[in-house]
A and B are shown apart, each in its own frame.
Chain A
Amino acid sequence: MKPAPFEYFVPEAADEALALMAEHGLEARPLAGGQSLVPLINMRMAQPGVLIDLNRCAEFAYLREDGDALVSGPMTRQRELELSPIVRRHCPLIAKAMPHMGHATIRNRGTAGGSLSHADPSAELPGVAVAMDAELIAGGPNGRRAIPATEFYLAELTTALEPEEMLCEIRFPKATENSRASFAEVGSHFGGLAIVGVAGQVEISASGHCNKVALAATGAGERPMRLTSAEALLTGQVLDERIIPDAAEAAAADVEPLEDLHASAHWRRRAVVAMTAQALREIASQGVG
């Protein structure tokens, strides 16, 4: 038996889960899909005293439209985000990123809330949330509060959630009709955690000009980072080969990559440039208006 003992609760209602979090505070971890937490528990790199299993909280698993947002519960499975027609239609960037996240078997269990809360700097979904200006709704002893994705990620594996708080909802703004999206990444093998990724969503007018540009990189710092210089350079311009190389090069200044086992900081910075160019080219190839 590999995991150390823990106390196990399996609430069936969201309020009950939040009350358990408030009661057990620092000692407790929510258990979502378990695809990041259980490996840590098996290796005893994590030894939570209390696990609050959210898998029977039906209230936490949903996906619906709400005005100009697509709203997901924290326990919505990644596999559902990948296959859902409303995601494909309203948030194509999510649908494009999902197949890069592990494997189908992992996505069967892995959840939206688990990936976003785990805050692995190389993970795709946090990068997508930051690029899309998603809003993360935290719930805790003092009720609910909305945290912009751009303020949610503080450092590696560290979010703005307080110990007693849980991520209770994710609100992704719907992309407009003329938005185009792409997710480009580079890693050692297919389905493995990427080294560097770039999420892009660009609103292109009928005349081919970029009205609104959103780009974010993963694996290029302690948290997902917006590529603001590249965004500024592209806004109002026609997205084609005259500008793509310069915009990609500008992205190099927007990231703060760290060196690790997988790649040097320099390599990661160059990978951001290459992946930005790849994502932009794929977006340009999707046509305008």
Chain B
Amino acid sequence: MSAARRDVRITVNGRTYAVSVEPRLLLVDFLRHECGLTGTHVGCAHGVCGACTVVLDGASVRSCLTFAVQADNSEITTVEGLADGESLNALQRAFHENHALQCGYCTPGFLMSLTEFLRETPDPSEAEIRERLSGNLCRCTGYANIVRAVQAAVQEM
């Protein structure tokens, strides 16, 4: 029976996890509970808020709308994979320096969506930045500082 557990190999931030999972296990729950990577947050669990965004084989995806089995043989980057040890990457630093986070709940999702965005669009206009940010909700900082942080990161990168 296929409702039974399935063996998967998923590489997260360079480390490979070979585990068996129930098909209904969401990728976000796999990351948080099986890998202990609690930087990926759950806000809404239906795709709207963007807090759970991770990069799957190079593309940003909602990990609350993806099952872990679907990531078999894939590579995932989560927010924990951005910094080099203790030193933040340019985007993270720009968020820190421009006060682009307050409670930080939404931040990992913003960072992962923007990681893909800045790779595809290295020199974005403010309109393009705002369009990309529309896919993630922040309920406390407000977006002005987040736009500023992205612009600062672009200067750095």
Binds A, one of B44-52, B84-92, B96-104, B144-152: B44-52
A267 part of interface (Cβ distance < 8 Å): no
Q: How large is the interface on B (under 10, 10 to 19, 20 to 34, 35 or more residues)?
A: 20 to 34
Binary contact track A42-68/B, C-beta < 8 Å → 1, others 0: 110000000101010000000000000
A270 part of interface (Cβ distance < 8 Å): no
Q: Which residues of B contact A42 (CB under 8 A)?
A: 26, 45-46, 64-65
> Given A105-B113, A106-B135, A8–B3 Cβ distance below 8 Å?
yes
B6 part of interface (Cβ distance < 8 Å): yes
* Residues of B50-66 whose CB lies within 8 A of A: 50, 53, 59-62, 64-66
Q: How large is the interface on A (under 10, 10 to 19, 20 to 34, 35 or more residues)?
A: 20 to 34
Please state if A109 and B66 are interface contacts (CB–CB under 8 Å): yes
Identify which of B2, B46, B53, B69 contacts A105 (C-beta below 8 A).
B53
Q: How far is the CA of A5 from the CA of B69 in the complex (A)?
A: 13
A242 part of interface (Cβ distance < 8 Å): no
> Given A1-B24, A1-B29, A43-B46, A104–B135 Cβ distance below 8 Å?
yes
> Given A55-B70, A191-B134, A108–B3 Cβ distance below 8 Å?
no
A228 part of interface (Cβ distance < 8 Å): no
Q: Which residues of B contact A189 (CB under 8 A)?
A: 134
A233 part of interface (Cβ distance < 8 Å): no
> Given A38-B65, A39-B65, A109-B61, A6–B3 Cβ distance below 8 Å?
yes
Please state if B66 and A105 are interface contacts (CB–CB under 8 Å): no
Binary contact track A121-157/B, C-beta < 8 Å → 1, others 0: 0000000000000000000000000000000000000
* Residues of B69-116 whose CB lies within 8 A of A: 69-70, 113, 116
Q: Which residues of A contact B67 (CB under 8 A)?
A: 8, 34, 38
Identify which of A5, A79, A191 contacts B24 (C-beta below 8 A).
A5
Q: How far is the CA of A212 from the CA of B17 in the complex (A)?
A: 57
Please state if A3 and B24 are interface contacts (CB–CB under 8 Å): yes
A232 part of interface (Cβ distance < 8 Å): no
Please state if A108 and B61 are interface contacts (CB–CB under 8 Å): yes
Q: Which residues of A contact B64 (CB under 8 A)?
A: 38, 42
A262 part of interface (Cβ distance < 8 Å): no
A10 part of interface (Cβ distance < 8 Å): yes
A103 part of interface (Cβ distance < 8 Å): yes
Please state if A109 and B62 are interface contacts (CB–CB under 8 Å): yes
Binary contact track B16-35/A, C-beta < 8 Å → 1, others 0: 00000011111001000000
Please state if B70 and A105 are interface contacts (CB–CB under 8 Å): no
Please state if A106 and B23 are interface contacts (CB–CB under 8 Å): no
Q: Give chain B's interface residues, CB within 8 Å of chain A.
A: 1-3, 6, 22-26, 29, 45-47, 50, 53, 59-62, 64-67, 69-70, 113, 116-117, 131-132, 134-135
**6 shortest A-B CB distances, which residue pairs?**
A103-B135, A8-B23, A39-B46, A3-B24, A38-B65, A191-B134
Sampled A-B contacts (5; CB under 8 Å): A5-B23, A7-B2, A34-B70, A35-B62, A103-B132
